[in-house]
Structure 1
Amino acid sequence: SPLIGWSLRITYAVIVLATLASVAKTMTAYVILRDHPIKGEETGPKITVDQQAEDESKIEEESTAQISKGQQFTEEQMLQLLMIPSGNNAARLLARWDAKTEAEFVKKMNDAAKDLGMTDTTYTDPSGLKSTTVSTPKDQLKLAKAVMQNDVFRDIVNTTITTIPGIDRQIRNNNDKALLLEGVGGIKTGSSTPAGGNLLWSANALVDGQIRRIVGITMGAQKAAILNDKLELAIDYSIKVIQAAQAGVTSTTVVKKGDVVGHVDDGLGGRTAVVATKDLKAVGWAGLKVEIAINDGGKVLPHSASAGDIVGQVSIGSGTGKVSAPVALQQDLAEPGFGAKITRLG
């Protein structure tokens, strides 16, 4: 069944702009997979570990991947080292591999954010270590919906524990408490003194026989004494919201077959009603508002047509959750004047 994204914005404080910490690695992965796409069983090209990445693996105050100069890992394995143990040195190595310098890669991150409509986000490093890398929950959900379309990425962030040849020990996901729950996926944890505990997450719910993906985020969990406990607090908050979201998601018919949804205006005061040709359902939670739009569906409106002829389409929702249906004339359309157009009621 197709996975259709509906976003749920979760905050536990008034957050306008917040430090991302390692949640920033989600954009690093997005840019890497955009520039070097892999899917299915593909593993991608091999990446050679340089001296800088080895030296940075020994920085005790950072989250790192234990890699050594000269080792080679596939793109998929490097993404695992980026997203599962949250290796800061893996993020920087991937940045240099993709764009030659970290600064050039950061520009790519910001350009990608702009393309996704993330208007309140600034990336200043590929790992999220810098407190100047900031975003909002709304922006991060835009990224989550986009990156979770990639099956390789989904498999990686849904992993609780794994092994990689050349790495001495198992690598474990900091989000394994949530991942072990039914229908819960990644996406990325993040924690730092300024950020507190953050978790960008995904979960599945079954609605009308289809699996629907929910994405959400908890940012700025601070009410704990030590940093690790702040991250655990963000995970615990998220679990409660995930379970409520899974239980509460439902569907409702927003537009019924035969409903008058708009009209054709002939420019001279004449109007001919158009109707939906099938039911349209929206998926979400009680109180959710959905966008309804109507257009000509890319077709030129005819000068005359019979009742029942298709003249456009009506849509509800947006992005991956958008659903559409053709609209047809309710009665015969007489010869219109210049400037005929189709418009939605209201």
Structure 2
Amino acid sequence: PRLALSADPTYTFEGGELDLPWPDEGQGGVVVEGVGTVGMYGEQKPAPIASVAKTMTAYVILKDHPISGDQVGPQITVDKQAGEESNRPDESTAPIEEGEQFTLKQMLQLLMIPSGNNAARLLARWDATTEEAFVKKMNAAAKELGMKDTTYTDPSGLQATTVSTAADQIELGKAVMQNEVFRDIVNTPQIKIPGVEPMIYNNNRILLEPGVSGIKTGSSTPAGGNLLWSANTVVDGKNRRIIGAVMGAQQGTTLDDKLQLSIDNSLKVIKAAQEGVTSAGVVKKGEVVGYVDDGLGGRTPVVATKELRAVGWAGLDVKLNLGAGAGREVPHTAEAGTVVGELTIGTGTGKVSTPVALQRALAEPGFGAKLTRVG
């Protein structure tokens, strides 16, 4: 026996396509986790990403040295190179000194919040002995994530040869935001780290806006202003994560102007996406959505046991999938009302589902049906 879908396999949200206020330069896009791509803009071609590269540095570090919950990880000693680099006036650095010790979590905070280039290079050496060896790990991780248009040449993003696309960085954003420690760090507007004299402030100045939660800023002369961001919106009482990027903001006099422009443009897109992502009733409770096919001509209808509401936006097509569910098999016989599978839409954190149950009793095929099959 197997389950087969009889309901429409797709559902289209009402309205035209969701119109987002894209910038008139650079490249970017928006994805709703587990649902799909809201839209992309600009030519998705490799471009310098500046300090947005530190997102991959953090991803590789947490992959090699996982921590969770209240864990802070091992102690890391500031070496001579990282201490000397903290005084470079032409770089974004973390104010650390040779011989100081910080936990792994604190080093990740120094990496992501003030965007310390010296922290990035120190973490690379701590993890892989040399920065070159660590960069190979970064590129291997990018390949695993399907980031086909990305090349890392340094752990900080200072080099203009570290390039990527908005689409690739969004893929990385989706992966790294699964880590609760990382989410906590990039959602921190300011922090006081013991041993570091000044208060540390995040360059992402929209973190206090409703639902905005990271991820990483980046700016340089070749890159312009960049922001890889995450935001949440509440749909049917549940948080839905939106990941996006705005890259290549060049319409500004100074680098800070360009960075602020990418941040401001991102906020406009975020607000529109938060407002545009909604839900719709796709299947009603008790509606026949498919049947159990016994393979010998018998079909027993199955019904949704509750309303199925999909997450989406105007113009989106979503696909319905009917199956037994992980680790389950469709029974040969069962009473009416028995749950035999589930109807799902979406994947991962965006997945919504309803159990499906038999509308009437499921019986073994009769002798005649079996005899006909043999014949």
TM-score bracket, normalised by the shorter chain, equals 0.7 to 0.9
Secondary structure at the aligned position of 1:47 is classed as strand
**1:198–1:220 distance in 2 versus 1, CA, 3 Å:** same
**1:136–1:282 distance in 2 versus 1, CA, 3 Å:** farther
**1:267–1:120 distance in 2 versus 1, CA, 3 Å:** farther
Residue equivalent to 2:288: 260
Residue equivalent to 2:204: 175
Is the 8 Å Cα contact of residues 8 and 214 (structure 1) preserved in structure 2? no
Is the 8 Å Cα contact of residues 53 and 93 (structure 1) preserved in structure 2? yes
Please report the TM-score for the alignment, with normalisation by the length of structure 2. Answer: 0.80
**1:56–1:68 distance in 2 versus 1, CA, 3 Å:** same
Is the 8 Å Cα contact of residues 78 and 96 (structure 2) preserved in structure 1? yes
Is the 8 Å Cα contact of residues 232 and 242 (structure 2) preserved in structure 1? yes
Is the 8 Å Cα contact of residues 195 and 220 (structure 1) preserved in structure 2? yes
Aligned counterpart for 1:43 among listed residues 64, 72, 77: 72
Aligned-residue offset at 1:19 = 2.6
CA distance, structure 2, for counterparts of residue 319 and residue 114 of structure 1: 21
1:243-291 per-residue CA deviation (whole Å, 9 max, x = no partner) reads: 2222333221223323333333344555443332222222232223333
**1:9–1:232 distance in 2 versus 1, CA, 3 Å:** farther
**Pairing 1:116–2:145 present:** yes
Please report the TM-score for the alignment, with normalisation by the length of structure 1. Answer: 0.86
CA distance, structure 2, for counterparts of residue 23 and residue 326 of structure 1: 42
Secondary structure at the aligned position of 2:118 is classed as helix
After superposing the two structures, state which structure 1 stretch, 275-284 or 235-244, moved more: 275-284
**Pairing 1:128–2:157 present:** yes
Q: Return the letter of the residue paired with 1:218.
A: V
Residue equivalent to 1:14: 43
Residue equivalent to 1:226: 254
Aligned counterpart for 1:28 among listed residues 57, 61, 66: 57
Q: Return the letter of the residue paired with 1:292.
A: L
Is the 8 Å Cα contact of residues 135 and 152 (structure 2) preserved in structure 1? yes
Secondary structure at the aligned position of 1:200 is classed as strand
Unaligned runs of 5+ in 2: 1-32, 371-375
Residue equivalent to 2:4: none
CA distance, structure 2, for counterparts of residue 307 and residue 16 of structure 1: 56
1:31-63 per-residue CA deviation (whole Å, 9 max, x = no partner) reads: 222222223333221100112212322333221
CA distance, structure 2, for counterparts of residue 109 and residue 256 of structure 1: 47
Aligned-residue offset at 1:128 = 1.8
Is the 8 Å Cα contact of residues 49 and 93 (structure 1) preserved in structure 2? yes
Residue equivalent to 2:12: none
Aligned-residue offset at 1:231 = 1.0
Is the 8 Å Cα contact of residues 73 and 104 (structure 2) preserved in structure 1? yes
**Pairing 1:139–2:168 present:** yes
Secondary structure at the aligned position of 1:258 is classed as coil
Q: How does 1:144-159 map to 2 (within 5 A)?
A: 144-159=173-188
Is the 8 Å Cα contact of residues 73 and 105 (structure 2) preserved in structure 1? yes
1:83-112 per-residue CA deviation (whole Å, 9 max, x = no partner) reads: 011111111111111222223322332333
Secondary structure at the aligned position of 1:303 is classed as coil
CA distance, structure 2, for counterparts of residue 84 and residue 47 of structure 1: 18
Q: Return the letter of the residue paired with 1:309.
A: T
Residue equivalent to 1:200: 228
CA distance, structure 1, for counterparts of residue 188 and residue 283 of structure 2: 39
1:71-90 per-residue CA deviation (whole Å, 9 max, x = no partner) reads: 11111111111001111111
CA distance, structure 2, for counterparts of residue 276 and residue 122 of structure 1: 47
Aligned-residue offset at 1:229 = 1.5
Residue equivalent to 1:344: none
**Pairing 1:301–2:335 present:** no
Q: Return the letter of the residue paired with 2:283.
A: V
CA distance, structure 2, for counterparts of residue 134 and residue 262 of structure 1: 48
Provide the aligned C-alpha RMSD in A. 2.7
CA distance, structure 2, for counterparts of residue 223 and residue 12 of structure 1: 17
Is the 8 Å Cα contact of residues 218 and 227 (structure 2) preserved in structure 1? yes
After superposing the two structures, state which structure 1 stretch, 285-294 or 216-225, moved more: 285-294
Aligned-residue offset at 1:21 = 1.6
Secondary structure at the aligned position of 1:290 is classed as strand
Work out the percentage of aligned pairs sharing the same amino acid: 67
Unaligned runs of 5+ in 1: 339-346
Secondary structure at the aligned position of 2:232 is classed as strand
Which structure ranks higher in relative contact order (CA pairs < 8 Å, sequence separation ≥ 6)? 2
Aligned-residue offset at 1:155 = 2.4
Q: How does 1:259-338 map to 2 (within 5 A)?
A: 259-297=287-325, 298-335=327-364
Is the 8 Å Cα contact of residues 34 and 351 (structure 2) preserved in structure 1? no
Secondary structure at the aligned position of 2:317 is classed as coil
Secondary structure at the aligned position of 1:275 is classed as strand
Aligned-residue offset at 1:220 = 1.7
CA distance, structure 1, for counterparts of residue 100 and residue 48 of structure 2: 33
Aligned counterpart for 1:103 among listed residues 128, 132, 154: 132
CA distance, structure 1, for counterparts of residue 92 and residue 40 of structure 2: 25
Secondary structure at the aligned position of 2:318 is classed as coil
**1:311–1:159 distance in 2 versus 1, CA, 3 Å:** same
Is the 8 Å Cα contact of residues 5 and 214 (structure 1) preserved in structure 2? no
